[in-house]
Amino acid sequence: MKTRRVILGLTATLLIMASGCTVKPLHSNAGFGLTKSVSIESVNSRVAQQVRNRLIFLVNGGESQPASPEYIARLTVSSSTAGILTARNTSNDSDNSASRVTLTGTLQLSTSDGEIVGNYKRTAIALLDTSTQQFANTRAQIDAQDRAAVELAETFRAILISKIPAGQ
């Protein structure tokens, strides 16, 4: 009888302790709560649009942007490509090289009243290989820009989560 009371007491204690647990999964839906509070302004280049589209998806979870946001984010994104290695094959006159695409982005976060919360500048890098085929080179560069755009958007999402107060 006493053992049964001890087991019930321990079970009740564990249930009470577990009910107060606030542990969240590492990859939770943090950021989806920003849906009603932040809007990302339009941009004017393909690469910047890739960053903006991914950021809108990460922040809003696939929903449309809010009609009356509390915060406004302005993006500017530039892209540059630089060769980092060239290998010349003399037997068939083919050039193979490695290049690096660097996206430099600036996120300006302000309130709907126009008060600037902060300016944040970040970069993202993606590598690509090129050859003598022009179409393949162009496609590889676009793909590298898209990979870097995803990385840059995820970085900007982390900034938004950390700078916008919870519950807004």
Q: Which CATH number belongs to the domain containing residue 113 in this structure?
A: 3.30.160.150
pLDDT at 26 (0 to 100)? 45
Q: Which domain holds residue 136?
A: 32-163
pTM of the prediction?
Answer: 0.74
In a domain, 27, yes or no: no
Within a domain: residue 36?
A: yes
- How many CB atoms are closer than 10 A to CB 60? 19
Count of domains for the chain? 1
Span 72-89, average pLDDT: 84
Predicted confidence at residue 120, as pLDDT, reads 96
DSSP H helices in 26-113: 46-60
Of 105 and 131, the one with more pLDDT: 105
Residue 37, Cα to own-chain centre: how many angstroms?
A: 17
Task: Tell me whether residue 10 is in a domain.
Answer: no
Mean of pLDDT values over 4-19:
76
Spatial distance between the Cα atoms of 59 and 65, rounded to a whole number of angstroms: 9
pLDDT at residue 153 greater than cutoff 80? yes
Q: Is residue 63 part of a domain?
A: yes
